[in-house]
Amino acid sequence: MGKSRFGKFEAAPLSSDFIPSLREPTQQILWIGCSDSGFQETTILDLLPDEMMVHRNIGNMLIEGDLSSETAVKYAVSVLGVRHIVVCGHYGCQIVKAASREGLQGPWQSKLDSLHSANKHTIEQLPEEEHDRTFVKLNVLDQLRSLRQFPEVVDAAKSGSLQLHGIVYDTHTGEASRLVEEPECRI
């Protein structure tokens, strides 16, 4: 169980049928992943490739004013009518690191800086090897929070036609967990 400015959360095991496959080429998922993940994590769920629309950028982040990710979200929700949005981070990410923002610029850097500042006490109390892993998880939660700023996402979620999921993938073991937030902590 971790604690952040988002409230309490935990990482629970992810089964391959967490999102049931439609068994037909209908895009039901917007998958937001990281550009340096190795691209294997989209196979952790037992889904047909055609069921996913994949959007990638550095750090699997939703940055306010980033036309590419904003258009992807709006198109997926309003036009495709996807039923799920997955934000998938990965351990070992060279971009989402607790200690260093080297090479990042502008809003990417400031969003991670802000996340780090807000959770500094939590992160610093952890054993060293857990720093980055926890920061990867917090970053996924931060992007879910950003997704909830989209009116299209809020409306679809309220009507019950859309669910948001945070997932973290371990590139070494090939295993994944889903991040579970306490409902009262959600925005």
Q: Binding site membership: which residues?
A: 34, 36, 90, 93
- Structure-token pair, residue 47: 């889904």
Is residue 93 near Zn ion by the rule CB under 5 A? yes
Q: How many residues touch Zn ion (CB under 5 A)?
A: 4
Q: Tell which one of 5, 22, 27, 36 touches Zn ion (CB under 5 A).
A: 36
The set of residues, in sequence order, having a beta carbon less than 8 Å from that of 94 and lying 6+ positions away, is: 36
Q: Tell which one of 14, 29, 32, 34 touches Zn ion (CB under 5 A).
A: 34
Strand pairing report for 2-4 and 7-13: antiparallel
Is residue 88 near Zn ion by the rule CB under 5 A? no
Binding residue numbers for Zn(2+): 34, 36, 90, 93
Choose among 162, 159, 178: nearest CA to 170: 178
Residue 36 or 70 having the CB closest to Zn ion: 36
Strand pairing report for 29-34 and 52-57: parallel
Q: Which DSSP string do the residues of 47-92 spell out, in sequence order?
A: --GGGEEEEEETTS---TT-HHHHHHHHIIIIII--SEEEEEEEET
- Please give the helix or strand (H or E) that residue 111 lies within, else none: helix 106-118
Q: Which stretch binds Zn ion (CB under 5 A): 35-43, 67-75, 141-149, 162-170?
A: 35-43
Q: Which stretch binds Zn ion (CB under 5 A): 89-97, 101-109, 115-123, 157-165?
A: 89-97
Task: Write down the least CB distance from residue 62 to Zn ion, Å.
Answer: 15
Number of neighbouring beta carbons within 10 Å of residue 80 = 14
**148, 113 contact by CB (below 8 A):** no
- Structure-token pair, residue 74: 């709006």
Q: Which stretch binds Zn ion (CB under 5 A): 10-18, 28-36, 100-108, 124-132?
A: 28-36
Residue 98 or 156 having the CB closest to Zn ion: 98
Residue 6 or 135 having the CB closest to Zn ion: 135
Residue 9 or 135 having the CB closest to Zn ion: 135
Binding site for Zn ion (CB under 5 A): 34, 36, 93, 95
